[in-house]
């Protein structure tokens, strides 16, 4: 799932080398992915009214359900 988010973010960002995704497990078994991008790419990744970020979260949720787990995405 980390690779999926990283691939999507690198495709959108104008500085793909600045994209970093970290993964950790929450106390309830949920996987938390933190996406870090360059400051000038943050608007691209979030999108107008958060539509791009919401789409990434939907794809992440689908991938998580296929693996039988739950996942959330935080953009920092």
pTM of the model: 0.90
Q: Is 70 helix (H, G, I), strand (E, B) or coil?
A: coil
71 - beta bridge partners? 31
What is the CA 52 to chain-centroid distance, rounded?
10
pLDDT category of residue 26 using cuts at 50, 70 and 90:
confident
Query: What is the residue whose two structure tokens read 């107008």?
Result: 48
| Structural domain range at position 58 | 2-75
- Say which CATH number the domain at 53 has: 3.30.300.20
Domain count for the chain? 1
Is the confidence at residue 22, as pLDDT, over 90?
yes
């Amino acid at each position: 799932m980390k690779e999926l988010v990283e691939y999507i973010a690198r495709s959108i960002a104008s500085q793909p080398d600045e994209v970093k995704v970290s993964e950790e497990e929450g106390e309830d078994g949920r996987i938390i992915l933190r996406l870090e991008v360059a400051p000038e790419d943050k608007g691209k990744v979030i999108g107008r009214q958060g539509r791009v970020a919401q789409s990434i979260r939907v794809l992440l949720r689908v991938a998580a359900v296929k693996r039988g787990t739950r996942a959330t995405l935080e953009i920092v």
